[in-house]
Amino acid sequence: MILRILLIAPSIAGIDAVPELRTIASVHHVMPLTGEVSAQDIYHQTREHNYHVLHFATHSHDDQVKLSGDEIFKPADVARASSLAQANLVFFNSCRSGLLASYAVRHGLAYSIYTNSDLPDAQAWKMPLSFYENLSAHSEIDYVTAFLHADVGDGIYGLVVAPQLLKDLPPISYTPEFDDVERLRRLLKKRPVKSKREYKHGNPGDSDSLL
């Protein structure tokens, strides 16, 4: 499944998002917000276009994502932008973003991926590449299975799932065995995420026309 991804990567000292952008763009339709990025830029993109995923490649800390200059994106901003874009997932490839992920999911988002610790810049592209490659290889969107296959289990990355997707499921003890991944995938497919979108402008083959 080819996804539309809004990749937010402001120019910030210590962050080189070029490898990350290239790897994701090699398998999906990516709209990059790079260079000087403001909250207004993000809101404009999410008002005008729909995306399956909002992907942040920047610095974050507890309850804020750093944009250009002194501007920050707060948890409420992430939740609003996700809603405007009708996104199902926000991927925080940024340090200590668990609070941001939890807030977004408790305020309408279906899934969010976050990091638990400082993320070495030189390694930051590896997990997203595996995650997005897994998604592109299947005809249906299955964020949980893609995450479980991409994550190496070192505790750096985490996945938050909306409570409404889990409330009717039996308890699951996760171990990195294929059978457990398949079991979780089958259970979550009881409440699938819609993957069909409507086109408002242009032709279906035009990536900018997807709503």
pTM of the predicted protein model: 0.77
Who has greater pLDDT, 171 or 21? Answer: 21
- Residue 200 has a pLDDT of 41
Tens digits of per-residue pLDDT, 136-184? 998 899 999 999 999 988 888 999 999 888 765 555 555 555 455 566 6
Interval 183-211: pLDDT, tens: 666 666 655 555 444 434 444 344 443 33
Q: Considering the chain, what percentage of its residues have pLDDT values greater than 70?
A: 77
End-to-end CA distance of the chain: 16
- For 7, phi then psi, to 5°, come to -100, 115
Q: Which of 3-12, 117-126, 160-169, 188-197 has the highest mean pLDDT?
A: 3-12
Q: Kindly state the average pLDDT of the residues 3-29.
A: 86
Q: Is 40 helix (H, G, I), strand (E, B) or coil?
A: helix
- Which residue do the tokens 């479980």 mark? 148
Reference 5, options 26, 36, 28, 21; nearest CA is 28
Please state the rounded mean pLDDT for residues 88-117: 93
Phi then psi dihedrals of residue 74, to 5 deg: -85, 165
Residue 154 is predicted with a pLDDT of: 85
**Residue 39 CB-density burial (10 A; 0-12 exposed, 13-18 middle, 19+ buried):** middle
For the chain, the maximum distance between any two Cα atoms, rounded to a whole number of angstroms, is 47
The Cα–Cα gap between 124 and 110 comes to: 23
Name the pLDDT band for 103 (thresholds 50, 70, 90): very high
Contact 58, 36 (CB under 8 A): no
Cα distance between residue 207 and residue 211, in whole Å = 9
